Amino acid sequence: MLDQSAIDTLRGNEIPPQSNFINGRWRDASGGGIRDVISPIDGAVLTSIADGTADDVDAAVAAARAAFEDGRWSRMAPAQRKKIMHRFADLIEKNALELAVLGVRDNGTEISMALKAEPGSAAGTIRYYAEAIDKVAGEIAPTPDGTLALVHREPVGVVGVIVPWNFPLMIGTWKIAPALAAGNSVVMKPAESASLSLLKLAALAQEAGLPDGVLNVVTGKGSVVGEAIGLHMGVDVLAFTGSGGTGRRLLDYAARSNLKRCYLELGGKSPNVVFADAPDLEFAANVCANGIFRNSGQVCIAGSRLIVERSIHAEFTRRVTEIAETMAIGDPLQADTQIGAVHSEAQLAQNLNFVGIAEAEGATCLTGGKRVREETGGTYMSPAVLDNVTPEATVFQKEVFGPVLTVTPFDTEEEAIRLANATEFGLAGAVWTSNLSTAHRVTKGIRSGLLHVNTYGGSDVTVPMGGMKQSGNGVDKSLHALDKYVDLKTVWMKL
């Protein structure tokens, strides 16, 4: 149960102007620049963040490198590192509501989702990788007699982390926790429109005992701070979640600088494939609606395409539409709100534009697709269900990142798989059926990194999360994610 009065108290807290966190100290941007932070809840200015520069990135990378080289973290005893990371997780749990409310004021996600998905998942992720510190080891390879070959797992050095605005704590810790667990130093750039909770996270890391210089945060514009991280010769690995366009730029920066490894978690256009024999159509409709409309669709794995067997097309679409119409759109800091704010005016304009294009291309908008609650000064949108969307339609192909669901009927299993695969993305998806063989064939047939059967949004730090095709490369979460932040070194010995 959420404590509404505690939330109401926290929402009134004044937030002082924020600065960068470099080498354990809070520093203004080198040029003295600041950026206003606008709350999507009501359009009000919340506070300001530092408008970081390439010089700030230089300072942060230098601090991270120095920390890495002198071994204050990279060579600290594993048991001690583990203790600090557990303390870090303890502090996140202790400050969970404060972190969640701060994040919601900044990015607009409804608090019921944010509390679980943000501090809740961040603490769990940090604990998971803390435990890996003294459990994941190198190898001795089975080489011929008279030789010994050791395979060491060594931290790569300095990891650049670039985070989006939808779930800063969750996505940020998916990257910093395994990077730190492996012994690296980190330079992190939050999204310019959602930096506050990650700055607080850095303060908690310091309080937990993470040595200075090991985790640095530089805020500011993607095209300045993000570009400087991408181009920096002192950054060894880049871990990113965001748009495909930025992912492409990061690969270009890597090519133009030191060929740093780039791990990209990009967009999605994930399908829910619903067969007529789905075990419980009401449940399926509920999950499909929640899977695209919660957090105003601002979820990488949002199930944005409904691909439904023609015999239940009308009935199932009606159910989803009815659910969309009853979902509570409102103040994200009210415990019972199901759909909070769209993150920004720009995002809202983009969402509405997609609906307009879809209608012009022949789709029928069954409900929603409008700006609502404009009188609050915030950015809100009613969830849209677009029926009869063809695979050629823009809205079928492009990620909206908003509360917009497309509906496309199918006749055969082969057609369902073909439609599911008919975009450049391959992030997530689901199949709804009572037939085990259908479930296996369809999950096998869909080229996506995360598939569900008769559910959606299954999430646990123990399983990998990453995209196929143009949804990216590499995975967050699970022990596999550690591999992104280590180099393998072979040492041959002749005995």
Catalytic residue IDs? 265, 300
C-alpha atoms less than 13 angstroms from C-alpha of 48 in its C-beta half-sphere: 11
Interface with ligand ADP (CB under 6 A), residue from 52, 183, 222, 291: 222
35 with 220: CB under 8 angstroms? yes
409 with 310: CB under 8 angstroms? yes
In terms of CB distance, is 296 or 433 closer to ligand ADP?
A: 296
In terms of CB distance, is 223 or 490 closer to ligand ADP?
A: 223
Pair of tokens at residue 378: 């915030």
Interface with ligand ADP (CB under 6 A), residue from 52, 124, 230, 449: 230
Residue 403's Cβ-count burial label (10 Å; 0-12, 13-18, 19+) is: buried
Query: Least distance to ligand ADP from the beta carbon of 315, Å?
Result: 35
In terms of CB distance, is 230 or 467 closer to ligand ADP?
A: 230
> Which residues are within 8 A (CB) of 258 and not within 5 positions of it... i.e. 6 or more apart?
233, 235, 236
Number of residues located near ligand ADP, criterion CB under 6 A: 15
Tell me the Ramachandran region of residue 476: left when phi exceeds 0, alpha when psi lies from -120 to 50, beta otherwise.
Answer: beta
Under the criterion CB under 6 A, does residue 160 sit at the interface with ligand ADP? no
464 with 486: CB under 8 angstroms? no
Element (H, E) at 27: strand 25-27
Query: Least distance to ligand ADP from the beta carbon of 468, Å?
Result: 19
Residues in the chain, overall count = 495
Pair of tokens at residue 254: 């890597």
Interface with ligand ADP (CB under 6 A), residue from 103, 242, 466, 474: 242
Under the criterion CB under 6 A, does residue 353 sit at the interface with ligand ADP? no
Interface with ligand ADP (CB under 6 A), residue from 112, 121, 246, 473: 246
Query: Which one of 41-49, 96-104, 105-113, 158-166 is the stretch in contact with ligand ADP (CB under 6 A)?
Result: 158-166
Query: Least distance to ligand ADP from the beta carbon of 149, Å?
Result: 39
In terms of CB distance, is 105 or 249 closer to ligand ADP?
A: 249
Query: Which one of 159-167, 307-315, 333-341, 365-373 is the stretch in contact with ligand ADP (CB under 6 A)?
Result: 159-167
Name which of residues 249 to 278 contact ligand ADP (CB under 6 A): 249
Task: Compute the distance between CA of residue 456 and CA of residue 243 in angstroms, rounded to an integer.
Answer: 22
In terms of CB distance, is 161 or 416 closer to ligand ADP?
A: 161
Query: Least distance to ligand ADP from the beta carbon of 9, Å?
Result: 30
C-alpha atoms less than 13 angstroms from C-alpha of 155 in its C-beta half-sphere: 27
> Which residues are within 8 A (CB) of 181 and not within 5 positions of it... i.e. 6 or more apart?
81, 85, 129, 130, 132, 133, 482, 485
Query: Least distance to ligand ADP from the beta carbon of 168, Å?
Result: 9
Under the criterion CB under 6 A, does residue 183 sit at the interface with ligand ADP? no
214 with 72: CB under 8 angstroms? yes
Element (H, E) at 216: strand 215-217
Can you tell me which residue has the tokens 């009613």?
Answer: 382
191 with 168: CB under 8 angstroms? yes
Query: Residues of 423-456 as b/e, b for ≥16 C-beta within 10 angstroms?
Result: bebbbbbbbbbeeeebbebbbebbbbbbbbbbeb
Query: Least distance to ligand ADP from the beta carbon of 52, Å?
Result: 10
Query: Which one of 148-156, 187-195, 256-264, 390-398 is the stretch in contact with ligand ADP (CB under 6 A)?
Result: 187-195
Interface with ligand ADP (CB under 6 A), residue from 127, 189, 319, 398: 189
Interface with ligand ADP (CB under 6 A), residue from 226, 403, 429, 472: 226
Query: Which one of 100-108, 179-187, 188-196, 204-212 is the stretch in contact with ligand ADP (CB under 6 A)?
Result: 188-196
Interface with ligand ADP (CB under 6 A), residue from 110, 118, 192, 265: 192
Under the criterion CB under 6 A, does residue 163 sit at the interface with ligand ADP? yes
In terms of CB distance, is 229 or 329 closer to ligand ADP?
A: 229
Task: Compute the distance between CA of residue 369 and CA of residue 301 in angstroms, rounded to an integer.
Answer: 20
Task: Compute the distance between CA of residue 235 and CA of residue 379 in angstroms, rounded to an integer.
Answer: 37
Query: Which one of 78-86, 96-104, 225-233, 279-287 is the stretch in contact with ligand ADP (CB under 6 A)?
Result: 225-233
Under the criterion CB under 6 A, does residue 108 sit at the interface with ligand ADP? no
In terms of CB distance, is 9 or 223 closer to ligand ADP?
A: 223
Positions in the binding site for ligand ADP (CB under 6 A): 162-164, 189, 191-192, 222-223, 226-227, 230, 242-243, 246, 249
